Amino acid sequence: MKNQSDSISSVLIVGGGTAGWLTACHLAKTLHAKSAGGVKVTLVESENIPTIGVGEGTVPAIRDSLQALGISETTFIRECDVTFKQGIKFVDWLEAPAADHSHSYHHIFDYPQRDSLDPTPYWLMEKKAGSDLSFVDAVSFQGAVCDAGLGPKLMTHAEYDGFAGYAYHLDAAKFSRLLTKHGTESLGVQHLKGNVVDVILGEEGDISGVTTDKLGVLEADLFIDCTGFSSLLLGQKLGVGFNSKQDVLLADTALAMQVPYAEENTPIPSYTIAAAQEAGWIWDIGLSARRGTGYVYSSQFTSDERAEEVLCAYAAKSLGAAADDLSCRKIPMNVGYREKFWHKNCVAIGLAQGFVEPLEATGLLVYDAAARLLAAQFPSCIGAIPEVANRFNQRLQHVWDGVIDFIKLHYYLSRREDSEFWKANRLRESVPESLLKSLELWRFQPPSEYDFPSRLDIFNLDNYLYVLYGMEFETDTHNLMARFPERERARMQFNKMQHNARSALESSLPNRELIERIRTFGLQKI
């Protein structure tokens, strides 16, 4: 048995997939697993359990992670069927589509500059005066770039650089394989294949080892549970309960489908499409060789059979009768998070930690953030574990609660009356009190950076602004007009943004063409 002052010399990650391998790479990089004095990082995964792979979208934070881990952007694009993502286009979330009208808006990744003038209150005043300029187009040229199907960078940009903020769409299985290769060959992760059949507890209730079918007992000082929804270590063995958030986020099931392109050179949107449906929404993600689509829905308000009809009808819009031959995979979703994410000497990351629907690419975002936090705050010795764990739990609960508030915002602001699902999402009792209080304040004044004081907030001011005003949220600026007297200067700024948009359209390449050039010629190294 180790003493309190003894260092943590070994970590065992149980489970692979994107979450497991991101965690392994972050730990191995930070803890110098490859060096003689570093912490030994081992990952054991089953050969038989496929990854869930619900989402294939990311957010810009993944660029920081890939760069920090030393992964070439060119290699990443070539090996993971990557395309560029500049945001999410929300279709029919505000109102049900009509024969002559369909509402949509962009949540982009470019954030407006506020160094000398905050555009938001001025845009609100212009809108009240009759302007039809959208919030996104007023503060950024990226919405125009997205609508034109263009990429976020030029071939002259170095890796991980561009003229606009961006993330990626990717093949999750190929991404896991790339992380596996990089983790084992470059960062010193030991990779084992075997099924965990039992978890062994020590005298103090900590995990002392796991029993496998082929490798015997594997021991470590710290264990990372990446076993998916089953949460074999933290949930089943250590008995840490689960906080369901099904009463807030009503969608509990997904149908996933891989959709081929109708033609080989079909343009690829540089954004995720999130198209609202009668009992949920469909994601539509364009990769190089195919589209990843799926229907996220509530089993309380529709049947699996009807959900499959809706998804197949969506695919048929581009494929016609050929969509009849496509198959779907049903994925039950356990919506919520663990009561604790770190208990004793066990930390859960990935689906074992928590899950909400894949709107806004929250899954990979939170798992990557949790892995980075664990690596950065890794305890220096056994005795430091309790307090590090306590802080980790507090910070991650704040993250999850913030994510849930933000996802619920999309539903609560809807004005759809065409189904019971949308009506149920607007019941006040289904909305976190924290979100209701913020919305009440923002009816009288626009959100500010002081409403988001924590550095750990996953979704911040600009994310909220894009959704609030994309969904036509009403903020009364009548009592604020005297505080913002530079309306003419703001108009000039809005006009300049339209000019910037025209310039970007003239110089940018279509998303598919940009990806093909990168795959052929590569990007400049940083």
List the chain domain ranges.
10-82+169-246+335-397
Q: Report residue 170 as tokens.
A: 């990717």
* Mean pLDDT of all residues in 292-305: 97
Opening angle at CA 522, ends 516 and 525, nearest 5: 145
Provide the pLDDT for residue 386: 96
Provide the pLDDT for residue 4: 84
Q: Which of 353, 354, 350 is nearest to 51 (CA)?
A: 350
Provide the pLDDT for residue 501: 94
pLDDT of 440-459, one tens digit each? 999 999 999 999 998 888 99
- Residue type (1 letter), 340: K
- Looking at every residue in the chain, the average pLDDT score rounds to 95
* Mean pLDDT of all residues in 273-300: 96
Provide the pLDDT for residue 56: 85
Domain 10-82+169-246+335-397, CATH: 3.50.50.60
* Mean pLDDT of all residues in 471-478: 95
Provide the pLDDT for residue 50: 64
Percent of the chain at pLDDT above 90? 89
C-alpha span between 435 and 357 (Å, rounded): 18
pLDDT of 310-353, one tens digit each? 999 999 998 888 888 899 999 999 999 999 999 999 999 999 99
Provide the pLDDT for residue 115: 75
The yes-or-no verdict on residue 2 having pLDDT over 80 is no
The yes-or-no verdict on residue 381 having pLDDT over 90 is yes
Q: Report residue 189 as tokens.
A: 């992760």
Percent of the chain at pLDDT above 70? 98
| Angle (deg, nearest 10), helices 61-69 and 17-30 | 50
Q: Report residue 318 as tokens.
A: 């581009």
Provide the pLDDT for residue 52: 55
Q: How many CA atoms lie within 13 A of 245 on its CB side?
A: 23
Q: How many CA atoms lie within 13 A of 163 on its CB side?
A: 19
pLDDT of 48-93, one tens digit each? 766 555 448 999 999 999 999 999 999 999 999 999 999 999 999 9
What's the pLDDT band for 461 if we cut at 50, 70, 90? very high
C-alpha span between 140 and 146 (Å, rounded): 11
Provide the pLDDT for residue 252: 97
Centroid of chain to Cα 474:
27
* Mean pLDDT of all residues in 244-266: 95
C-alpha span between 252 and 334 (Å, rounded): 7
pLDDT of 382-435, one tens digit each? 999 999 999 999 999 999 999 999 999 999 999 999 999 999 999 999 999 999
Q: Which of 397, 388, 374 is nearest to 454 (CA)?
A: 397
Provide the pLDDT for residue 1: 62
What's the pLDDT band for 499 if we cut at 50, 70, 90? very high
C-alpha span between 92 and 468 (Å, rounded): 15
Q: Which residues are catalytic?
A: 85
C-alpha span between 225 and 230 (Å, rounded): 10
Rg of the Cα atoms in the chain: 24
Q: Report residue 376 as tokens.
A: 């950065």
What 3-state DSSP class applies to 169? strand
